[in-house]
Chain A
Amino acid sequence: SQTIHQWPATLVQPVGSPLSLECTVEGTSNPNLYWYRQAAGRGLQLLFYSVGIGQISSEVPQNLSASRPQDRQFILSSKKLLLSDSGFYLCAWTKRGNSYEQYFGPGTRLTVT
């Protein structure tokens, strides 16, 4: 069966510090991968998606970046965090060739102080 991991689960970082969030998927190959942010309230904001190693598409211009160094690894980074980067970050994957339902990780709660 497939599983998706995210770490860390929670993170408190000062403004201006760097960020690295990691997501890995097990039990599947060549997934589509996604990073979302969920700010105060409930809505999901798509940040990045990837259809393959080294292929990243950005949906929202900001001080975040993403990388996919391996087939099942997706990393979200920032060189200098802003207060507005606080939120709940969710990684998700889909398997190609089906109805494209998404499977989400447990999330990372980021608080920028």
Chain B
Amino acid sequence: GDSVTQMEGPVTLSEEAFLTINCTYTATGYPSLFWYVQYPGEGLQLLLKATKADDKGSNKGFEATYRKETTSFHLEKGSVQVSDSAVYFCALSDVPASGGSYIPTFGRGTSLIVHP
């Protein structure tokens, strides 16, 4: 079945440092890939997405490139801020299950802590 593997956290950085959160996946089809962010006490928010190979998703200074050859979708940001402290989830959506419902597969999440 499909799976998503994220690097274990927490990732602790100083403000303005470079961020990379690794994500690799296995899928039977040709999935769409996503990064979601969850701030403390809130629901998840879609951060960025990519739907085909070599697509780069970007939002709020975060970027991730769909690498089919390495089955990866690593999240990067050039200069993190304290406000970026949150939990980040990598996810994929593959071909629909019966009834037309996509059942996404999520990674376990990576906690990011940014210190001033």
Instruction: Please count how many residues in chain A sit with their CB below 8 Å of the partner chain's CB atoms.
Output: 27
Give Cα distance in the complex from A109 to B41, angstroms: 9
With A43-B108, A44-B89, A102-B44 as known contacts, state yes or no: A57 contacts B102, CB within 8 Å: no
Residues in B neighbouring A6, C-beta threshold 8 A: 43
How far apart are B110's CB and chain A's nearest CB, in angstroms? 8
Asked whether, in the complex, the Cβ of B100 is within 8 Å of the Cβ of A96, the reply is: yes
In the docked arrangement, what's the CA distance between A6 and B46, Å?
18
Asked whether A101 lies within 8 Å of B106 as measured between CB atoms, the reply is no
Residue A76 interfacial (CB < 8 Å): no
A residues in contact with B106, CB < 8 Å: 43-44
Chain B residues with Cβ below 8 Å from A96 are 100
**B104 touching A100 by the CB < 8 A rule?**
yes
- Known A104-B43, A107-B42; contact A99-B32, beta-carbon cutoff 8 A: yes
Task: Please provide the chain B residues from 16 to 42 with a CB less than 8 Å away from any CB of chain A in the complex.
Answer: 32, 34, 36, 38, 41-42
Asked whether any CB of chain A lies closer than 8 Å to the CB of B111, the reply is: yes
Given contacts A42-B87, A43-B108, A44-B89, contact A100 B102 (CB under 8 A): yes
Does residue B103 face the partner (Cβ distance < 8 Å to A)? yes
Chain A residue, CB-CB nearest to B38: A42
Q: Is A73 an interface residue (CB 8 A)?
A: no
In whole angstroms, how far apart are the Cα atoms of A32 and B109 in the complex?
Answer: 23
Q: Which residues of chain A have a CB within 8 Å of any CB of chain B?
A: 6, 32, 41-44, 46, 49-51, 55, 57, 59, 90, 92, 94, 96, 99-107, 109
Chain B residues within CB distance 8 Å of chain A: 32, 34, 36, 38, 41-46, 49, 51, 87, 89, 91, 93, 99-104, 106, 108-109, 111
Please name the 6 residue pairs, one residue from A and one from B, whose CB atoms are nearest each other, closest first: A42-B109, A104-B43, A100-B102, A99-B32, A100-B93, A104-B44
* A and B contact pairs by CB, cutoff 8 A, 16 listed: A32-B100, A41-B108, A42-B38, A42-B89, A42-B108, A42-B111, A46-B103, A49-B101, A50-B101, A51-B100, A57-B99, A59-B103, A92-B44, A99-B49, A101-B46, A104-B45
With A55-B99, A102-B104 already in contact, 7 other A-B pairs whose C-beta atoms are closer than 8 Å: A42-B89, A43-B108, A51-B100, A90-B43, A103-B46, A104-B36, A104-B44
